[in-house]
Structure 1
Amino acid sequence: MLRVALILGFLAYASAYVCSKDACATVRCANVAEAECTSGGGKFVANGGYCGCCDACRQQLAEGDSCMSMVLLGVSMKAECAPGLHCDPKTLKCVQGFGGLLLSRRDDAPCAAALLKAQNGPSLLGAPTPSCDGEGYYQPKQCQGSQCYCVSKNGKEISGYTANVWEAQQMTCQCARDQAEYMASGLIGKFFYCTSDGSYQTYQCQGDVCFCADTNGVKMDHSPSVHISQVTKLNCKTGF
């Protein structure tokens, strides 16, 4: 319980923190020597410290090291996963790879470009670190501070679908994205049944026929079908 309370406190702090334009005027920077930093296994980052005011020496976290501070407070000012590793949002540990990005697409896809900028630019407390798919586009669910929300593949927020980060373990945003893309196509006639966090409801309907669906809105094998007026009789959560 104490651990959860501390995490929530950090999240609230990070989401509320904003660097003012005059932040550097009151900051006294510690002397960070590049040679000393790199010889100790760190990475020297010019203007990588508090609000981009000071130089920083970032500890390079090894595979398996905890990267919880990176998730809670945005891009960490003092530590980051070493090159070739990324912070796994599920285990909160540094793991191999670049978050599933295809290297040939990293530089020109919108999320990949934002991710590289976040990893290599100045560390700002509370700055969001985007979550990218295998082609370098934005994952449907993104989180910043204490809130998670749904976005398009190019990172534009889809309004109306949010959740507290500690309640978003099952949040997929796939329904919200599919619906937004369908509406943008100009097509009409298809209905999407989404939850308040943008995930697919456990049931979906085509016309006046409803059935149990998986997390992608696809009809599950052996699911019974009922008239839309009888949809409440579907026991999709408990089996059928």
Structure 2
Amino acid sequence: MLKYLICVSLSVVVSEAIQCLPNACATVRCAAVTEDTCNGLFVPKGGFCGCCDSCKEVLIEGAYCGSGFLLGFPSKSQCGDGLECDIHTMRCVSKTRVARETQTATCAEAHQQYLATQQQNGGFGLLGAVEPKCDNDGFYQAKQCEGSVCTCVSKEGKDILDYRADIWMSQDMDCQCARDQHEYMETGLIGRFFYCTSNGNYQKHQCLGSVCHCIDNHGQMVGTQTVSIGDLDKLQC
């Protein structure tokens, strides 16, 4: 809880300290960056406050990726295709990477117990028992439903804050933002901001200072369009 309060407090301080005014780019002199000269990924208007074109370094597997969106500044690098930033190690890892050996596949064990109990009762589970939903590595899926409510949970099956939704409104609920936020806070690090909806999904946009852009279901920037926070309704996400 203390980590959460610290993270929220820092977010408020940073949001007040970093402001991109409408004329912020008037005095900025941009370096000559083009797709031909960029040694990496060319991002139009990808610099601070969306003033200048920029280049992003494309990181290989195992490379450090902890500098992404630190304290409101645009990231200068991103993991390459097929890779993602592991928020525990801050290294680029394969998206199909097997679960770490130090963790216990608690959902797989709970699911086996559920099936065993069902078998002992002639194919019927105990009254009130809910079949756990597990991922391919044996951990709990981010969304778990019981009765008329679906909640976001950690890999170990613990509820994450108060991210939930009625089951009839949970079809598109993936809890990716809630899960990423939880795992990041578990590391004890601060500086990364998460824009989650009440059901634990990522919002369709995020803002760095006063500049906003579209993001995908994993919180990654989509497209190149940026707008001032005052023109957020003009952002086509």
Alignment TM-score, normalising by the size of structure 2: 0.51
CA distance in structure 1 between the aligned counterparts of 2:208 and 2:135, rounded to whole angstroms: 29
- Structure 2 residue 176 is matched with structure 1 residue 174: yes
Name the structure 2 match of 1:110.
106
For the Cα contact (< 8 Å) 1:202–1:213, is it kept in 2?
A: yes
- Runs of 4 or more above 6 Å deviation: none
**Which deviations, in whole Å up to 9, do the C-alpha atoms of 1:112-168 show, x marking residues without a partner?**
111111111142123111111110011110001111000011111112111111110
* CA apart distance, 1:207: 4.5
Q: Distance in 2 between matches of 1:171 and 1:207?
A: 28
**TM-score, normalisation: structure 1:** 0.50
Distance 1:145 1:201, change over 3 A: same
- Partners of 2:170 and 2:204 lie apart in 1 by 16
Match of 1:233 in 2: 234
CA distance in 2, matches of 1:211, 1:109: 37
1:120 matched residue in structure 2: 116
- SS in structure 2 at match of 1:199: coil
Taking every aligned residue pair, what percent have the same amino acid on both sides?
Answer: 52
Alignment of 1:61-140 (within 5 A): 109-122=105-118, 123-140=125-142
What is the 5 A alignment of 1:1-240? 109-122=105-118, 123-220=125-222, 222-236=223-237
Moved more, 123-132 or 137-146: 123-132
Q: Per-residue deviation at 1:182?
A: 1.2
What SS does structure 2 have at the residue aligned with 1:135? coil
Looking at structure 1, the residues matched to 150 and 218 of structure 2 have their Cα atoms a distance apart, in angstroms, of 19
Higher relative contact order (CA 8 A, sep 6+): 2
User: Pairwise CA RMSD of aligned residues?
Assistant: 1.9
The corresponding residue for 2:33 is: none
Q: State the match for 1:18 in structure 2.
A: none
Shift of 1:214: 1.2
Distance 2:185 2:226 in 1: 26
In 1, Cα distance between equivalents of 2:108 and 2:208: 36
**CA separation of 1:206/1:187 partners in 2, compared to 1, >3 Å: closer, same or farther?**
farther
Is the partner of 1:224 in helix, strand or coil? strand
Counterpart for residue 62 of structure 1: none
Unaligned runs of 5+ residues in structure 1 are 1-101
SS in 2 for 1:187: coil
**Kept in 2: contact 1:190–1:206 (CA 8 A):** no
Structure-2 residue corresponding to 1:12: none
Measured after TM superposition, the shift of residue 232 of structure 1 is 3.3
Q: CA deviation at 1:229?
A: 4.0
Aligned length: 130
| Residue number in structure 1 paired with 2:71 | none
Superposition deviation, residue 223 in structure 1: 3.7
**Distance in 1 between the 2:224 and 2:116 partners?**
49
